[in-house]
Amino acid sequence: MNNMRYAGLKIAVFAAIFFLVFGLFCGSSRADTLAMKDGREIKGVVVEDYKDRVILSTVDGEVTVMKPDIKELSFDDDESNLIKLAEQAVDRRRYLKAVDYYGWALKLNPDSRLAKDGLIFLQLHLYGKEKAAVEDGLKRRSDIESLGGSISSSGSEAEELEKSGRELARRLGMALEADGNMPYVNAVRRDSPAYDAGIRRSDQLVAIWGRLTGYMSLKEVMDRLLEASSSEIRCTIGRDIDTDVIRSQNPLAGPDDVIGASLGIGLDGLTVTKVKSGGPASSAGIEAGDIIVSIDSNSTRYMSLKKVIETIRKSEGRIKLAIRRNTVIWKRD
């Protein structure tokens, strides 16, 4: 009888622990929320966030929602909301408020790369730029007015874009095009700062100083790259890479065995932790630290590591990986 009571107590304790853990991981699940102008609410996970639209993964699949139809976008965690508020403050030239928001985000997550890059950008670029711009503007106005003239527009939008493009080619050695979402590199000169940073033709320029380029016009992207206050530019590039897969009869074969790279789930997603010299991944140009965002066009955002390994192992001898890579461009004088 005592044994039965003990067994029953063990089952009850196990059940209590199970439901507690299940509740922590499942019952408290949260979602990004789009509050629409027509009063509806759409819940899901924001997969991509561009200047004019949001791609949301919902229980019914991915949906695209245009920004003009959205009243408010709320992310599922405080850190993301603070980052968004900081970026909006920068756009409105409220730089001290942006510093506050980035600082609060770092208190929540001391490893937040977006918050760190945002603060460094403010420190190296905007404070000095704002002061210089005010002084230059006052001097320019004084010079023009002393000659009896007036200040006029400096040229059309197309002319300004062409001018920024020429300056980008001269100083960084690359040219950008817009494809409707993120800008991509359509040319890069050898022996240039962009080439030395590992940027190649057809790469997407995903972010500059932690700021997604999907929010920016092509002119804004170029201007951000040409900021004169610092010689350092931190960027995130996107690249599609095809790599061979080594066939293995071992049902337990992992990424090390089939593509020559070790993988792990990190803060930014599925991450390449190590690349074996001479293996397929190394030959394809994959590097340690790369974030794999999709495998054969299937997003890795919701994949477990076990599912990732199964997907790679079952491929038909070759797979297509979409990666994100952080790099630094060092401008030259």
Which is nearest to 214 in space by CA: 195, 189, 194, 238? Answer: 238
223-264: pLDDT as tens digits: 889 886 678 899 999 999 999 887 655 555 667 777 889 998
CATH number for the domain formed by residue range(s) 239-330: 2.30.42.10
Helices 78-91 and 95-108 cross at an angle (nearest 10°) of 170
d(CA 291, CA 324): 5
Q: Give the domain 2-78 fold.
A: SH3 type barrels. (2.30.30)
d(CA 125, CA 274): 34
The answer to whether 237 and 199 are in contact (CB under 8 A) is yes
Task: State the pTM of this model.
Answer: 0.62
Residue with more model confidence, 24 or 326:
326
Q: Which two tokens stand for residue 54?
A: 């949001």
Instruction: Decide: 324 and 241 in contact? Cβ < 8 Å.
Output: no
pLDDT of residue 253: 60
CA-based max dimension of the chain: 106
Contact predicate 56/34, CB 8 Å? yes
Q: How far is CA 301 from CA 160, 207, 269, 297, 312, in A?
A: 39, 18, 7, 12, 15
Residue 38: pLDDT above 80?
yes
- Residue listed under structure tokens 């985000």: 105
What's the token pair of residue 305?
Answer: 């590591």
d(CA 239, CA 195): 15
The percent of residues in the chain predicted with pLDDT above 90, rounded, is 24
Binned at pLDDT 50, 70 and 90, residue 155 comes out as low
* pLDDT(81) > 60: yes
CA 233/CA 230 separation, integer angstroms: 8
Kindly state the tokens that stand for 188: 């890069």
Domain boundaries, the chain: 2-78, 79-152, 239-330
Section 133-157 average pLDDT:
48
Nearest to 51 by CA among 147, 180, 210: 180
Question: pLDDT tens digits, residue range 261-318?
Answer: 999 888 778 999 999 998 899 999 999 999 999 998 888 877 888 888 888 877 778 8
Cβ neighbours of residue 168 under 8 Å, at least 6 residues apart? 174, 175, 176, 222, 225, 226
| Res 126: pLDDT | 63
Tell whether the model's pLDDT for residue 98 goes beyond 80: yes
